Amino acid sequence: MESILEQYKVWLEIQGKSKNTIKTYNIIVKTFLNFIKKYLNLNDIDQFTINTYIDKNLIFRFLADEKINKKLDSNSLRLYIRGIASLLRFLDNENLAKQIKAPKVDKRLPKFITLEEFQRLINAAESYRNRLIIEFLFYTGVRVSELVKIKKDDIIFEEGLVKVLGKGGKERIVPIPKELLNRIKDYIEDLDSNIIFPLSSRQVERIIKRTAIKAGINKKVTPHVLRHSLATTLLSRGIDIRYIQELLGHSSLSITQIYTHVVPNQLKEIYKKVFDS
């Protein structure tokens, strides 16, 4: 079984999947393969066994058990199904991969903080570095996984831009406000590391959570909430949604369009100008 998992991991890397996706899919697939071993009472499992015994009913039985035992919601089930489908494609079983349908996603509006709450957040930062992390996440809209990989030479100081390596190895260029750019320039002068914020994603998440509590913000604040907050702020100021899509590195405009649901007052004003004038 370990050899299959290792080959599968290499295949995912070749497909250009992110480290987080590879880690998540490997956990799901390993759990699934252990289920097959136990269900079929096998000592070990190989590619021939999987291709011989795996079918839609077995997959659904596994998903049903996981849903009950781990209380999975529809979003988690979708992730499980994507993981198993990718295993099937790795095994050249495209037909079966197409047969397992994911449940509809629980569509929730993105959470965000106001500019006033953002100001309270940076004022509550425990250190200069932590303040820069919060500002960088908000003003650039980068993902936390992108933030912790940004190097000194990724910042083009004379242009006020930063090169960001996003999902699937796709690079994009993001602007940085002048004041933040100057603070970063001062900060990295005495920095030994080539990585600007040499932390793990989890460490950054803890910094944001701790700072939000200290600031008295009664919301769950995460790096992704800061990303949502930038998009919502820009959209409310009338910035074209296509520019926001480019800024956030969204592969599809439909992903970015969810932010149009969190600024209803602004949209009402636009409608008044267009239709009621």
Catalytic residues: 143, 167, 224, 227, 250, 259
- Please name the residues in contact with 190: beta carbons below 8 A apart, sequence gap of 6 or more: none
CB atoms closer than 10 angstroms to residue 19: 11
| Overall residue count recorded for the chain in this entry | 277
Question: For residue 198, which of 153, 151, 166 has the smallest C-alpha distance?
Answer: 151
Q: Is the dihedral of CA 187, 192, 194, 196 positive or negative?
A: negative
**Residues in contact with 204: Cβ distance below 8 Å, sequence separation at least 6, in sequence order:** 133, 137, 144, 147, 148, 197, 223
Q: At what angle do helices 178-189 and 128-140 cross, to 10 degrees?
A: 140
* Cβ atoms within 10 Å of 233's Cβ, excluding its own: 21
How far is it, in rounded angstroms, from Cα 118 to Cα 120?
5
Q: Which of 182, 187, 206, 210 is nearest to 197 (CA)?
A: 187
Output the CA angle 67-69-71, nearest 5 degrees: 50
Contact assessment for residue 253 and residue 241, using Cβ atoms and an 8 Å cutoff: yes
Q: In whole angstroms, give the CA distance from residue 5 to residue 1.
A: 6
